[in-house]
């Protein structure tokens, strides 16, 4: 596979759950890398092979070129996080991500272009995907891994009103009472309904 893009995701589950899903051939879900909260990087799929991380996807870049089916030409990186719109990423995850991106840039020259790193939300937001989410620090990524900023801003697909709604739900419950799987499904549905 020729890598044209890096696509960033959050797992929406624990590391153990993500690895179990990736090992299940019936799930048809995988990514090239997972970065745990402690910064450990797991290489799940060789970068010269296709991973199933983007699903139905499309993107029109600033030059007007239309890209579709990102699994065929992108490297998927999952960050362990139950929901990156509500929960921050760890400092160790950012450090490992930046190190990994720089490593991939050496092997795949197209990845040196800051326009060639996107979130799942940018290529599949039309399906309600919202990762890596509102709390992901794109500015820090660009300043650390690229000599220039991207030609277009990376904005979260989640609206401020939806973000406020889910943040209030999070504050009202104890961490142990939160079912993030259900919360994420409802969030995807709300994003789709707000696009109509």
In this prediction, residue 164 carries a pLDDT of 76
Is 59 exposed, middle or buried, given 0-12, 13-18 or 19+ CB atoms closer than 10 A? Answer: middle
The more confidently predicted of residues 124 and 147 is: 124
Spatial CB neighbours of 96, under 8 Å, sequence gap ≥ 6: 35, 39, 40, 41
* Mean pLDDT over each residue of the chain, to the nearest integer: 88
Asked whether residue 127 is assigned to any structural domain, the reply reads: yes
Model confidence over 47-62: pLDDT tens digits?
999 999 999 999 998 8
Model confidence over 64-93: pLDDT tens digits?
899 999 999 999 999 999 988 888 999 999
183 — pLDDT class (breaks 50, 70, 90): low
Distance CA 91, CA 76 (A): 20
Cβ-contact 87, 180 below 8 angstroms:
no
Model confidence over 10-33: pLDDT tens digits?
999 999 999 999 999 999 999 999
Domain span at residue 18 reads 5-145
pTM across the whole model:
0.87
The more confidently predicted of residues 121 and 189 is: 121
Widest Cα–Cα separation across the chain: 47
CATH of residue 46:
3.40.80.10
Asked whether residue 81 is assigned to any structural domain, the reply reads: yes
Asked whether residue 124 is assigned to any structural domain, the reply reads: yes
In this prediction, residue 178 carries a pLDDT of 58
123 — pLDDT class (breaks 50, 70, 90): very high
In this prediction, residue 179 carries a pLDDT of 62
Distance CA 103, CA 71 (A): 20
Domain count for the chain: 1
User: Which segments of the chain are extended strands (E)?
Assistant: 5-10, 33-35, 41-43, 58-60, 66-68, 74-79, 117-119
In this prediction, residue 189 carries a pLDDT of 73
Asked whether residue 125 is assigned to any structural domain, the reply reads: yes
Asked whether residue 168 is assigned to any structural domain, the reply reads: no
194 — pLDDT class (breaks 50, 70, 90): low
């Amino acid at each position: 596979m020729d890598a044209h893009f890096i696509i960033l995701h959050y797992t929406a589950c624990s590391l153990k759950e993500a690895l179990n899903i990736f090992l299940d051939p019936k799930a048809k879900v995988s990514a090239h890398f997972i970065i745990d909260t402690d910064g450990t990087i797991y290489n799940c799929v060789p970068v010269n092979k296709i991973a199933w991380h983007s699903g139905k996807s499309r993107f029109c870049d600033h030059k007007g070129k239309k890209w579709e089916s990102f699994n065929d030409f992108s490297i998927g990186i999952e960050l362990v996080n139950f929901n990156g719109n509500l929960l921050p990423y760890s400092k160790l995850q950012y450090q490992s991500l930046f190190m990994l991106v720089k490593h991939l840039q050496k092997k795949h020259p197209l990845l040196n272009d800051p326009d060639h790193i996107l979130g799942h939300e940018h290529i599949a937001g039309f399906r309600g995907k919202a990762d890596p989410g509102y709390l992901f620090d794109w500015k820090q990524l660009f300043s650390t891994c690229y000599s220039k900023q991207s030609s277009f801003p990376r904005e979260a697909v989640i609206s401020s009103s939806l973000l406020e709604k889910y943040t209030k739900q999070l504050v009202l419950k104890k961490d142990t009472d939160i079912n993030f799987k259900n919360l994420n499904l409802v969030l995807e549905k709300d994003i789709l309904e707000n696009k109509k």
